């Protein structure tokens, strides 16, 4: 098996374990719930075929749905996240000349690009997640507050893990 496949397999199980057994019941003032499991989708290599990306995203979402008792909610938002990832990478990576980089990690792409990338994708994921979860306009203020605070919490956790687990490497 390829080193990349093994690393992503370990990343998949570690993030699902972290999400389900440690962060599932963690909420701050009933407004902020972290969902760092989406880091798996964000860190998949650039050369991952779109079909594989969509299937892996769907499997990840279904796995989280199985533990959260939310049939299809996380699966749908993970597939939406994969679509937004493809669009974002097509718009930024080719223009910025990052084609020779293997994966979109903090150490490879740099802080500014990764922060923008993680922020945009996390905001899209959380927007659809919370709106599909509530699915009514009567609670729009509460939903928007949860969306914003949960996005901030998730992005901070992603950045912390990026600084902890990825070695610093100078870009050429």
Euclidean distance between CA atoms 60 and 161, whole angstroms: 19
Euclidean distance between CA atoms 98 and 7, whole angstroms: 22
Structure tokens of 61? 């979402």
User: Tell me: the pLDDT tens digits for 64-102?
Assistant: 999 998 899 999 999 999 999 999 988 887 645 555 567
Structure tokens of 162? 């990026």
- The answer to whether the predicted template modeling score (pTM) of the entire model surpasses 0.85 is yes
The answer to whether 74 touches 68, Cβ cutoff 8 Å, is: yes
- Stretches where the chain sits below pLDDT 50 are 95, 170-172
Distances (CA, A) of 147 to 15, 128, 142: 21, 9, 9
CA 125 and chain centroid, separation = 7
Please report the pLDDT score of residue 149 as a whole number.
Answer: 94
Euclidean distance between CA atoms 113 and 83, whole angstroms: 19
Please report the pLDDT score of residue 135 as a whole number.
Answer: 82
- What is the helix (H) or strand (E) element at residue 5, kind and residue range? helix 3-17
The answer to whether 40 touches 17, Cβ cutoff 8 Å, is: no
Please report the pLDDT score of residue 25 as a whole number.
Answer: 82
Euclidean distance between CA atoms 11 and 46, whole angstroms: 16
Please report the pLDDT score of residue 94 as a whole number.
Answer: 61
């Amino acid at each position: 098996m390829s080193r990349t496949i093994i690393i992503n397999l370990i990343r998949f199980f570690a993030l699902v374990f972290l999400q389900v057994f440690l962060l599932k019941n963690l909420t701050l003032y009933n407004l902020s719930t972290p969902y760092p499991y989406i880091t798996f989708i964000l860190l998949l290599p650039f050369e991952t075929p779109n079909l594989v990306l969509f299937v892996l995203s769907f499997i990840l979402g279904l796995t989280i749905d199985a533990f959260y008792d939310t049939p299809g909610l996380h699966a749908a938002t993970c597939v939406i996240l994969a679509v937004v990832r493809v669009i974002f990478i097509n718009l930024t990576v080719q223009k910025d000349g990052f084609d020779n980089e293997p994966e979109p990690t903090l150490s490879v792409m740099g802080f500014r690009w990764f922060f923008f990338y993680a922020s945009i994708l996390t905001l899209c994921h959380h927007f659809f997640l919370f709106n599909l979860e509530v699915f009514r306009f009567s609670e729009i203020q509460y939903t928007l507050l949860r969306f914003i605070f949960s996005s901030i919490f998730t992005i901070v956790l992603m950045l912390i893990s990026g600084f902890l687990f990825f070695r610093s490497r100078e870009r050429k």
